[in-house]
Amino acid sequence: MVGATYDWELDLVLQVYYPDRVEERRRMLDEAARAWRHSVFGALVPPGSLPTMIDSLLLEGRWDEARASATAFLGANAQPLGMRRILADLDRRQGDSSRAWARIAEALPDGPDTEPPLSHFPFGLRLIGVAAELALDDSDLDWARRWILALERWLDWSDIEVGRATPDHLWARYYAAQGDLDRAWQCQREGLRHASNPRQPLAMLTAHRTLARLATLRRDFAAARQHLVGAERLAASFEAPYSLALVQVTHAELLIASGRGHEAGGLLAAARATAEALGAKPLLAVIDNLEPRPTAVPGGLSAREIEVLRLVAEGLTDAEVAVRLSISPRTVGGHLQSIYNKLGISSRTAATSFAHKYGLVR
């Protein structure tokens, strides 16, 4: 009972209202882990596979641990709806939509026609949200609409205020996919209002990031920058790498759209490192589409030499290039000399001219 109490406190209070209280979250996780180790589940699942920890593991980017924990508890038939929700969300983030849909079908066999309540209402509510996100990812707008309406029906049935920002965000994605950016903007503005009263920082982050992206698409770069500031501040306070990577990609999209794409390299590199570490394939695909891919570059330059050349052309010193690429200045110098030899040039000025000529610098 002590472990379960921590579980609900973490899940329904700390994660929702105070995700920026990182030290408090970790202290509570330690106390919860001690309680669970003394419970019957401590003997049923591997060490560290504790239900209380899973959403915090997701938030902190410890996805392998989260998957192992959820799988272990699902195997023990503990909180099956909650564990399928976590695994479906992970499958979606890592690009396995078919497996995510299979888990949703197991948990909600009537699909969007499923009626509340289920034995664990909050888990079912979130799983419906995952299903709507998946349908939007697949560009199946009719299917997405049914799931969003189901989510609204569940929220109306429950008569709660927390979570009202989620359907607003989903409708914003829905209308943006239809090309109706004004209506998408209105929906997400309403989502920010719902996320702010009562204050739900994770939902506020999603709202600010989405508004920044919509503002970029509307060419309202001032508004996009304003919402990015809010999103970046929140993401940094949570110590949540995936959330931060999403914001970094949104920031890069703004820079590219506003003609400052040469400043986006560091943001995309940081987001790529996070996405690769987490196995977040859909996010990696977005990053791939944003990063410039030079074609028909003469001289036989390697991919790393092209990276060095691009940064040199942006005006970075060898030391700054080294920091950006996580290599030593000496290695940068070696790459630069190889570039000079292959291209038959002898100066940074000539290298910069070459980079601009072949579109290596935005």
SS (H, E, C) the chain: CHHHHHHHHHHHHHHHHCCCCHHHHHHHHHHHHHHHHCCCHHHHCCCCCCHHHHHHHHHCCCHHHHHHHHHHHHHCCCCHHHHHHHHHHHHHHCCCHHHHHHHHHHHCCCHHHCCCCCCCHHHHHHHHHHHHHHHHHCCCHHHHHHHHHHHHHHHHHHCCCCCCHHHHHHHHHHHHHCCCHHHHHHHHHHHHHHHHCCECHHHHHHHHHHHHHHHHHCCCHHHHHHHHHHHHHHHHHHCCHHHHHHHHHHHHHHHHHCCCHHHCHHHHHHHHHHHHHHCCHHHHHHHHHHCCCCCCCCCCCCHHHHHHHHHHHCCCCHHHHHHHHCCCHHHHHHHHHHHHHHHCCCCHHHHHHHHHHCCCCC
Longest dimension (CA), the chain: 73
Cβ neighbour number for residue 246 with a 10 Å cutoff = 24
Counting the structural domains of the chain, the total is: 1
Strand partners, 186: none
Residue at 234 is within a domain: no
Residue at 100 is within a domain: no
Q: How far apart are CA 235 and CA 45, in angstroms?
A: 32
Q: Residue 327 sits in which domain range?
A: 303-357
Residue at 315 is within a domain: yes
Residue at 312 is within a domain: yes
At residue 38, φ and ψ (nearest 5 deg) are: -95, 0
Residue at 110 is within a domain: no
Residue at 324 is within a domain: yes
Residue at 157 is within a domain: no
Where do we find the tokens 């004004």? Answer: 182
Whether the Cβ atoms of residue 32 and residue 13 lie closer than 8 Å to each other: no
Q: What is the CATH number of the domain that holds 314?
A: 1.10.10.10
Residue among 253, 294, 296, 297 nearest 271 (CA): 253
Q: How far apart are CA 58 and CA 242, in angstroms?
A: 9
Q: Report the pLDDT value the prediction gives residue 47, as an integer from 0 to 100.
A: 52
Walk along the chain (362 residues) and give the pLDDT tens digit of each residue. 887 788 788 888 988 999 999 899 888 888 887 887 787 666 655 555 555 568 888 888 999 988 988 888 888 776 788 889 999 999 999 999 999 999 999 999 999 999 987 678 888 999 999 999 999 999 999 999 999 999 999 999 998 889 999 999 999 999 999 999 999 999 999 999 999 999 999 999 999 999 999 999 999 999 999 999 999 999 989 889 999 999 999 999 999 999 888 889 889 999 999 999 999 999 999 999 998 765 566 678 887 888 899 899 988 999 998 888 888 888 999 999 999 998 889 889 888 888 887 777 75
At residue 173, φ and ψ (nearest 5 deg) are: -65, -40
Whether the Cβ atoms of residue 308 and residue 325 lie closer than 8 Å to each other: yes
Residue at 233 is within a domain: no
Whether the Cβ atoms of residue 234 and residue 212 lie closer than 8 Å to each other: no
Q: How far apart are CA 311 and CA 67, in angstroms?
A: 38
Q: How far apart are CA 258 and CA 254, in angstroms?
A: 6
Q: How far apart are CA 107 and CA 127, in angstroms?
A: 9
Q: How far apart are CA 20 and CA 279, in angstroms?
A: 25
Q: Report the pLDDT value the prediction gives residue 78, as an integer from 0 to 100.
A: 67
Strand partners, 196: 199
